[in-house]
Amino acid sequence: MVNAMIKNQISLSKNQKIVLDYIQKIKKPVKAYSILSGVKKSGINAPPQVYRALDKLIEKGKIHKIESQNSFIACNIGDCATPHAVAFSICNQCEIVTEINDQKLFKYLSDFKDKSGVNFKGYNLEFFGVCDSCKAI
């Protein structure tokens, strides 16, 4: 159905909306149990409700998981077309995380082939260093 097709691009369930709203509000990486605390007043009571929403939001490109922190952050590239090909910079001092949106980097990585010639569609890249603000201190 056409309606469904249009809807599918953005359609989120009730809990998914609640969790996404919370993550977008925070603007920083948040941990699953912080999300749980933050959305308790919205009627979400238990970890599985949060983790299920997180899984779906990742699939739908709305959020990403920062693997080195076990935290979650809203996608800042609109509706992320490539939810499994992402790059971030992480400041070791203030722990601020910034999603990198660099077409040249993306192309380089998605074209990359290992020694046996295998090409990988997906990747997760996390840069570590000191951000500008922290350098200034």
Partner DNA sequence: AAAATTACGTTATAATATAACATCAATATT
Partner DNA sequence: AATATTGATGTTATATTATAACGTAATTTT
The site for DNA (CB under 7 A) is made up of 1, 4, 7, 11, 13-16, 31-33, 43-49, 51-53, 56, 70
Q: Which does 124 bind (CB under 5 to 8 A by kind): DNA, its own copies, none?
A: its own copies
d(CA 79, CA 9): 9
**DSSP conformation class of 119:** B
Q: How far is the CB of 77 from its own copies (least distance, A)?
A: 13
| Whether 87 contacts 99, CB under 8 Å | yes
d(CA 29, CA 11): 23
d(CA 52, CA 21): 15
d(CA 114, CA 63): 28
Nearest CB to its own copies, comparing residues 33 and 127: 127
> Total number of residues binding its own copies (CB under 8 A)?
29
Q: Which does 14 bind (CB under 5 to 8 A by kind): DNA, its own copies, none?
A: DNA
Site residues for its own copies per CB under 8 A: 67-68, 84, 89, 98, 100, 102, 105, 108-109, 112, 114-116, 118-129, 131-132, 135
